[in-house]
Amino acid sequence: MRTTAITTMTLAALLAAGAAHAADKVTLQLKWVTQAQFAGYYVAKDKGFYKEANLDVAIKPGGPDLAPPQVIAGGGADVIVEWMPAALAAREKGVPLVNIAQPFKRSGMMLTCRAETGIKTPADLKGRTLGVWFYGNEYPFLSWMSKLKLKTDGSADGVKVLKQGFNVDPLIQKQADCISTMTYNEYWQVIDAGIKPENLVVFKYEDQGVATMEDGLYALEAKLKDPAFVDTMARFVKASMKGWEWARSNPKEAAKIVLDNDATGAQTEKHQTRMMDEINKLTAGTDGTLDTKDYERTVQTLLSGGSDPVISKAPTGAWTAAVTDKAKTLK
Q: Please, what is the Cα angle at 38 between 224 and 223, to 5 degrees?
A: 10
Greater pLDDT, 239 or 11: 239
Phi, psi of 257 (to 5 degrees): -65, -40
Confidence of residue 8 (pLDDT cuts 50, 70, 90): low
Average pLDDT value for the chain: 92
State the pLDDT at residue 305: 63
pLDDT digits (tens, 9 = 90+) for 170-216: 999 999 999 999 999 999 999 999 999 999 999 999 999 889 999 99
Give the separation between CA 237 and CA 232, rounded to whole angstroms: 9
pLDDT digits (tens, 9 = 90+) for 106-160: 999 999 999 999 999 999 999 999 999 887 678 789 888 988 999 998 888 899 9
| 299, 211 contact by CB (below 8 A) | no
Give the separation between CA 93 and CA 252, rounded to whole angstroms: 41
Confidence of residue 257 (pLDDT cuts 50, 70, 90): very high
State the pLDDT at residue 20: 52
Chain centroid to CA 297:
17
Find all residues with CB under 8 Å of 37, minimum gap 6, and list them. 31, 184, 185, 215, 275, 279
The 3-state secondary structure of 151-202 reads: ECCCCCCECEEEECCCCCHHHHCCCCCEEEEECCCHHHHHHHCCCCHHHEEE
Which one, of 142, 121, 132, lies nearest residue 178 by Cα? 132
State the pLDDT at residue 54: 98
pLDDT digits (tens, 9 = 90+) for 270-329: 999 999 999 999 999 999 999 999 999 999 888 876 556 778 899 999 999 999 999 999
**Ramachandran category for residue 236: left, alpha or beta (phi over 0 → left; psi -120 to 50 → alpha):** alpha
pLDDT digits (tens, 9 = 90+) for 34-44: 999 999 999 99
In this structure, are strands 97-101 and 79-82 parallel, antiparallel, or unpaired? unpaired
Q: Kindly write down the DSSP assignment for every residue of 262-297, as one continuous string.
A: -TT----HHHHHHHHHHHHHHHTT-SSPPPHHHHHH
Of the candidate CATH numbers 3.40.190.10, 3.30.450.60, 3.40.50.10860, 3.40.50.1110, the domain formed by 23-106+213-327 belongs to: 3.40.190.10
Asked if residue 255 has pLDDT above 50, the reply is: yes
State the pLDDT at residue 301: 85
pTM for the whole structure: 0.88
What is the domain class of 109-204 according to CATH? Answer: alpha beta
Burial class of 122 by CB neighbour count within 10 A (0 to 12, 13 to 18, 19+): middle
Domain extent listing, the chain: 23-106+213-327, 109-204
Asked if residue 14 has pLDDT above 80, the reply is: no
